[in-house]
């Protein structure tokens, strides 16, 4: 959803200068002047906003209700050199244990789905806001018999994060159904990018640095609602049987290397069931790390490093992280090591 300046390819990097003094005067001013609609919280624990349940307090967390409010927050952050990052549903995010500098932005209010084109005999076009939960989009498609995203059933997170990560499952990726994406740049300008200009690849997109995903136009096929529902149930059942969906996790920890499955490599290296503090490698799917209670960012990072090294020693393959790590706060430098 937002990609910070100075750290290419990271979803959660600061837009401003790390370490800058936090001054919320300008933010309070835009509220008083009626230039911000939404909710603003101070010292908000990110552990309440991540599926892993880990994360220290962020200085300010804002929940804008519309693009103008988002624009005004971005402009304040840029003017005052305040670090800023956008958090989706927090399902693929690892946050530091200590204080997290700057502003966290949630676009959960951007959650509308609209049918924008139904003139084609075979296809429909949907508008989906970046804050639409992916399960909500899949359920919408099920209800009306629109096919193309059944395989994404069971993937948590918001549409914006799914687009940024090019989320996928069972050979289907969100990019397969994208027509265009609307973004806002750090200066508040809005642009619409066609799919061909987005540079999608495995678990990655080529969105301009510093941009925030606002919405997407998605094309789906008209189909029999009963058949769409059957396929959704099939994919959901396969996920439930092989993934610890009911546990506190951040989803898949590592990307699958070409021609390999990270979970299989981790299991083959003898890492299944390994523990570090409150974090454990899942016994059901080794590419999931579970918060068993009281887990910290330190636990997660250290377990990642140990697993990564054991896989390298066993297979010669160096796993790359799929989870995204906030690079501000007390453990920012340590978190960055995983990308070396």
Q: Are 319 and 262 in contact (CB under 8 A)?
A: yes
**What does the pLDDT look like over 314-340, one tens digit per residue?**
999 999 999 998 875 443 333 444 443
Mean pLDDT, rounded, of the chain: 88
- pLDDT reading at 42 higher than 80: yes
**What does the pLDDT look like over 229-272, one tens digit per residue?**
999 999 999 999 999 988 999 999 999 999 999 999 999 999 99
Residue 215, pLDDT score: 98
- Rounded CA separation 83/164 (Å): 20
Residue 119, pLDDT score: 81
- pLDDT reading at 8 higher than 80: no
Residue 139, pLDDT score: 97
Mean pLDDT for 145-149 is 98
Q: Binning pLDDT at 50, 70 and 90, where does residue 298 land?
A: very high
- pLDDT reading at 16 higher than 60: no
**What are the angstrom distances between the C-alpha of 158 and each of 3, 84, 161, 233, 276?**
16, 19, 5, 20, 29
Q: Residues of the chain with pLDDT > 90: what percent?
A: 77
Mean pLDDT for 52-75 is 95
Architecture of the structural domain at 246-339 = Alpha-Beta Complex (3.90)
Residue 23, pLDDT score: 63
Residue 6, pLDDT score: 29
Looking at the domain covering 25-106, what would its CATH class be?
A: alpha beta
Residue 15, pLDDT score: 33
Q: Binning pLDDT at 50, 70 and 90, where does residue 151 land?
A: very high
Contacts of residue 196, defined as CB under 8 A and 6 or more positions apart, other chains included, come to: none
Of 179-183, 199-203, 308-312, which gets the smallest average pLDDT?
199-203
Name the residue ranges covered by the structural domains of the chain.
25-106, 113-240, 246-339
- Rounded CA separation 134/32 (Å): 34
Which ranges of the chain does DSSP label H, i.e. alpha helix? Answer: 25-32, 67-79, 134-144, 159-165, 225-242, 262-268, 297-315, 332-336
- Rounded CA separation 249/137 (Å): 22
The residues with which 194 forms a beta bridge, in sequence order, are: 180
Of 1-5, 33-37, 170-174, 196-200, which gets the smallest average pLDDT?
1-5
Rounded to two decimals, the pTM is: 0.85
Q: Residues of the chain with pLDDT > 70: what percent?
A: 89
Domain 113-240 grouped into CATH 3.30.465.10: yes
Mean pLDDT for 15-29 is 57
Q: For residue 52, what are its two tokens?
A: 């892993």
Q: For residue 178, what are its two tokens?
A: 């994208």
**What does the pLDDT look like over 81-93, one tens digit per residue?**
889 999 989 999 9
Between strands 279-281 and 288-291, the pairing is antiparallel
- pLDDT reading at 9 higher than 70: no
Q: For residue 151, what are its two tokens?
A: 């395989």
Q: Are 219 and 227 in contact (CB under 8 A)?
A: no
Higher pLDDT residue, 277 or 339? 277
Angle at 144 between CA 143 and CA 145, to 5 degrees: 100
- Rounded CA separation 121/188 (Å): 38
């Amino acid at each position: 959803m937002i990609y910070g300046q100075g750290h290419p390819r990271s979803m959660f990097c600061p837009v401003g200068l790390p370490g800058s003094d936090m001054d919320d005067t300008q933010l309070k001013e835009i509220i008083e002047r009626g230039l911000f609609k939404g909710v603003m919280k101070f010292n908000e624990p990110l552990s309440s906003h991540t599926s892993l349940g880990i994360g220290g307090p962020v200085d300010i967390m804002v929940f804008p209700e519309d693009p103008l409010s988002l624009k005004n927050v971005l402009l304040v952050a840029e003017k005052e050199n305040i670090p800023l990052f956008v958090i989706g549903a927090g399902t693929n995010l690892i946050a530091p244990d200590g204080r997290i500098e700057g502003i966290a932005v949630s676009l959960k209010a951007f959650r509308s789905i609209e049918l924008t084109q139904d003139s084609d005999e075979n296809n429909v076009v949907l508008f989906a806001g970046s804050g639409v939960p992916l399960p909500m989009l899949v359920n919408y498609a099920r209800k009306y018999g629109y096919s193309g995203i059944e395989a994404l059933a069971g993937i948590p997170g918001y549409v914006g994060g799914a687009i940024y990560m090019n989320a996928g499952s069972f050979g289907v990726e969100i990019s397969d159904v994208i027509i265009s994406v609307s973004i806002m740049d750090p200066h508040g300008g809005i642009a619409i990018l066609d799919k061909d200009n987005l540079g999608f690849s495995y678990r990655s997109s080529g969105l301009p640095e510093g941009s925030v995903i606002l919405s997407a136009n998605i094309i789906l096929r008209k189909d029999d609602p009963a058949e769409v529902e059957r396929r959704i149930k099939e994919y959901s059942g396969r996920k439930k049987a092989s993934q610890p969906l009911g546990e506190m996790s951040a989803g898949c920890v590592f990307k699958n290397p070409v021609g390999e499955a990270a979970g299989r490599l981790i299991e083959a290296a003898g890492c299944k069931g390994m523990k570090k503090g409150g974090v454990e490698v899942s016994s059901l799917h080794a590419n999931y790390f579970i918060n068993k209670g009281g887990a910290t960012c330190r636990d997660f990072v250290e377990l990642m490093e140990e697993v990564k090294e054991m896989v390298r020693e066993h297979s010669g393959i160096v796993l790359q992280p799929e989870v995204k790590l906030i690079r501000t706060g007390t453990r920012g430098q340590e978190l960055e090591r995983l990308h070396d």
